[in-house]
Amino acid sequence: MVTDRLRRLAIVHGIVGLATCLCLIVFYLGADAFGSINDVGNAALGLLSAGLAWRFQQSAAKVRPVFVGIAALGAVITVVGSILILTDATGFFFAGLVSATGFALIGVWLVAASRRLTDDPWPQRLQRAGLVAGAVMLLGFVSVPGIILGLDDMSTASGWTYVGGLSWAGTYLLFPAWSLRLGRPISMPRED
């Protein structure tokens, strides 16, 4: 059963995800202040993702608790990535690798949770969208070797690191879209 709390959290999660993506776009268009806003939004999205995993477990399709723990660990790692860039401890590239890895862990939960959405009242499209979003987020695991190697310069990074960068499409677009869909009321078939 989808509770009102889960719906509201899913909607907030979706809005924060899309707004964080928009901040990144505006930053790349030249508004430097939006870089820090994006970094804070990134951390908030990670924490909201952990909350979503926990709330989803409480009121919807249940997954093994270990997957909720994996999502929580992912959230912590995304926050670490944001702290690294906000404190100038590293450059944006290394911090992005760290955050992408955190969101990949959250993607593990999303795939596991979406696999459980097989029975009514869950729309099949919600299940497929979650599987696709989670699978794209899993590309963030490609970032792990870059973290181990300490890569922090995009201009000298190997091409394979860009594969990990594709995970952001899942994190900033597909996962928020899934959350917004989760937040919509599920229409139940009428009994005659």
3-state per-residue secondary structure call for 145-181: HHHHHCCCCCCCCCCHHHHHHCHHHHHHHHHHHHHHH
CA distances from 102 to 75, 105, 146 (A): 6, 5, 14
Record the pTM.
0.93
135: pLDDT strictly greater than 60: yes
What stretches of 88-144 adopt beta strand conformation (E)?
none
Instruction: Transcribe 3-23 into DSSP letters.
Output: -HHHHHHHHHHHHHHHHHHHH
Task: Give the pLDDT band of residue 189 (cuts 50, 70, 90).
Answer: very low
Per-residue tokens: 23: 């901040």
Instruction: Note the pLDDT of residue 192.
Output: 44
Residues 106 and 141 sit within 8 Å (Cβ to Cβ): no
Distance CA 77, CA 100 (A): 9
Question: How many CA atoms within 13 Å lie on the side-chain side of 45?
Answer: 32
Q: Which SS3 state, helix, strand or coil, does residue 185 take?
A: coil
Q: List pLDDT tens digits, range 7-54.
A: 999 999 999 999 999 999 999 999 999 999 999 999 999 999 999 999
- Candidates 174, 143, 162; CA nearest to 49 is 174
